A and B are shown apart, each in its own frame.
Chain A
Amino acid sequence: MTGRPGDAPSRPQEQCPAAGPASAQAMASDAYAPTAPPRTPGATSTPAGAEQRNDGYGVTWPRVLHSEWAKLWSLRSTWISLIATCVVTVVLGMAVAGTYESGSADSDVGPVELTLLGTQFGQIMIAVLGVLVTAGEYATGMIRATFAAVPRRLPVLWAKATVFGAVAFAVMLVTVFLTFPLAQGFLSGTDMEAGLGDPGVVRALCGAAAGIALSGVLCLGFGALLRGVPAAIGAYIGAVLVLPEVAGLLPYGAVDDITAYLPSKATYALMATHHGPDLLAPGPALLAMGCWVAVTLAAAALLIKRRDV
């Protein structure tokens, strides 16, 4: 089984299920000749030569990444979602800052959390885009073409997660580093005044981008697991947005401890500058998000490997 993306193309024979004596024999004699001559047009029957041409074409990990990169940017929905995410976050941040009066915020809200209020919306847009990256392929049937091109399948999942995670992180990083100074322009003289040099601010801004990107990748995993856009968005709403709110109402202390590790709380903890008792510290929060993503992607990988498409 292709465990890591890097080893995908290197061992071509291992995955042939139930390879019998006939194919074993064939494999022993073929030697994966990359030097096999190109087929001459008009040649009538050259089975061996025709079957083994190579032309330097072949699936490699960087090529699968390139393909997923091209797929992401060749859809209009990507541009719209990412631009909208950026604009909404910046505009809302400035609106909140422009109307802020000292003392009106809750005691556990710091200057970064306040200016990044718009990420509440941005987060949802990134999540939906993450769902579309995987579930969108199942919905349109594109997944069959994708898996016909990369029949090992798992490199596709890793490539999607890598490309989308990196793009979402980069876009969110630009967004928050744009939002914070712009919003701070309205906050000088209030109790929310802060600069990039203040302790914890840069970390919280980077944390915000990382947390939102990771929850986007989590949703990408939901999409791969559930194979449908509505189902995956439902899972996001239920498990990520609603579950912590419901759990928070339960009168058990142990539940609160667990709630802190849930994706939405962990994401918030990553962008917080004031860490109250019910928020994780940034390190454990990042670890928690990483675990959620890893578990979801691992489950998706297991099913992708086994299911028919």
Chain B
Amino acid sequence: MIRAYGLTKRYGEKTVVQDLTFTVRPGTVTGFLGPNGAGKSTTMRMLLGLDAPTSGRATIGDRCYAAHPAPLCAAGALLEARSIHPGRSARGHLLALAHTHGIPRRQVTAVIERVGLGEAADRRVKGFSLGMGQRLGIAAALLADPATVILDEPVNGLDPEGVRWIRNLLKSLAAEGRTVFVSSHLMSEMALTAEHLVIIGRGRLLADTTVERFVRDAGLGVIKVVTPEAGRLRELLAGPGVDIAGDGPDTLRIGGSDGERIGRTAAAHSIPVFELTPHSASLEEAFMDLTRDAVEYPAHSEAPATAHGAAA
């Protein structure tokens, strides 16, 4: 369980994180989303006591991280920037951390095997690829079998196989009853793994919700249906919670229903259907809508081009 109460971090004039209050519960994967520069990494460092909040506080388990007698058991973390001495071997790095808590050597070996670094364990980290470095960071996070796992952009630099491995790992960690808090700037990635979402932009909390609710509130899950008998199908499908909008004479946009129900209804009444398309690709768009005003360095690609066109 992670709790943040009014977490605020200022560097001089610049407020990086402002009054963040949220709770991360055990047993599920919670995604921590926001554009680059939104303050995700700073927040995570504050959770771990690496950065001191300007105001507010955070607890992991029942107390702030630094107050745990065995901090690595309370929370294991993969931080955004590499925090590994490149001159040490993977095993040497993990052993050094393990010694601080009295964690036995076999646990280090077990965690090396778990992240798939078995063959590279005694090589110096200097020669590791980005993905291997990421796996070592995750091994360090899991070292003490922690109740809470905090991972900052874990899929960065991983190949597709590695990305899938992370997804499964996160889900299994949550299924074991752990609190799993994972940051990402990719909504699509989080939609596949997380159940809960904490979304921030420019250091402020934008949403604290479930993936399901986020999808519903964003008006996603809309199904586009093309049929010559649009009016009739509309009447048949109408009901509480179902939201139907016309889009041209033959086209309906139906929210709050599902493809199976629409298809069966149409079939039962012999209504021909030319197209039945779930419109789900825009999860990323909904996230971008939400964070549009909060992007630190937005890219202006279209607007200036049009302006130039008009001027010419």
The yes or no verdict on A and B being binding partners is yes
Residues in chain A within 8 A of chain B (CB atoms) = 9, 12-20, 22-23, 26-27, 30, 32, 39, 41-47, 50-60, 63-64, 66-67, 69-71, 74-77, 136-137, 140-152, 306, 308-309
Q: How far is the CA of A243 from the CA of B66 in the complex (A)?
A: 40
Whether the pair A71, B176 counts as a contact (CB closer than 8 A) is no
Q: Which of B72, B77, B85, B175 contacts A42 (CB 8 A)?
A: B175
Whether the pair B85, A137 counts as a contact (CB closer than 8 A) is yes
Interface centre among B48, B63, B86 (most CB of A within 10 A): B63
Whether the pair B102, A60 counts as a contact (CB closer than 8 A) is yes
| Chain B positions within 8 Å of A150 at CB level | 71, 100
Whether the pair A63, B67 counts as a contact (CB closer than 8 A) is no
Chain B, interface size: which category? 35 or more
Whether the pair A148, B71 counts as a contact (CB closer than 8 A) is yes
CB distance from A99 to the nearest CB of B (A): 38
Whether the pair B89, A74 counts as a contact (CB closer than 8 A) is yes
Q: Which of B52, B57, B74, B92 contacts A19 (CB 8 A)?
A: B57
Q: Does B111 contact A (CB under 8 A)?
A: no
| Chain B positions within 8 Å of A12 at CB level | 63, 67-69
CB distance from B156 to the nearest CB of A (A): 15
| Chain B positions within 8 Å of A142 at CB level | 83-85
- Measured CB to CB, the nearest residue on chain A to B57 is A18
Whether the pair B178, A53 counts as a contact (CB closer than 8 A) is no
Whether the pair A23, B45 counts as a contact (CB closer than 8 A) is no
Whether the pair B1, A54 counts as a contact (CB closer than 8 A) is no
List 6 A-B pairs, minimum CB-CB distance, nearest first: A51-B61, A151-B66, A74-B92, A26-B62, A67-B99, A144-B83
Whether the pair B177, A44 counts as a contact (CB closer than 8 A) is yes
Known: A30-B63, A57-B102. 4 other contacts (CB 8 A): A12-B68, A16-B67, A67-B97, A141-B81
Q: Does B147 contact A (CB under 8 A)?
A: yes
Give per-residue flags for B73-116: 1 if the beta carbon is below 8 A from chain A beta carbons, else 0: 11001010111111111001101110111110000000000000
Give per-residue flags for B138-159: 1 if the beta carbon is below 8 A from chain A beta carbons, else 0: 0010001101100000000000
Whether the pair B26, A20 counts as a contact (CB closer than 8 A) is no
Q: Which of B63, B68, B82, B96 contacts A74 (CB 8 A)?
A: B96
Give per-residue flags for B19-33: 1 if the beta carbon is below 8 A from chain A beta carbons, else 0: 000000111000000
| Chain A positions within 8 Å of B89 at CB level | 74
CB distance from A43 to the nearest CB of B (A): 5
Q: Knowing A59-B71, A59-B100, A71-B96, say if A147 contacts B50 (CB, 8 Å).
A: yes
Q: Does B242 contact A (CB under 8 A)?
A: no
Whether the pair B69, A66 counts as a contact (CB closer than 8 A) is no
| Chain A positions within 8 Å of B51 at CB level | 308-309
28 A–B pairs (Cβ distance < 8 Å), ordered by A:
A14-B67, A18-B57, A19-B63, A27-B62, A30-B62, A39-B147, A44-B175, A45-B177, A50-B26, A50-B179, A51-B147, A54-B69, A55-B145, A57-B73, A57-B144, A58-B70, A59-B69, A66-B99, A69-B99, A70-B99, A74-B92, A74-B95, A140-B85, A142-B85, A144-B50, A145-B140, A147-B49, A148-B72
| Chain B positions within 8 Å of A9 at CB level | 69
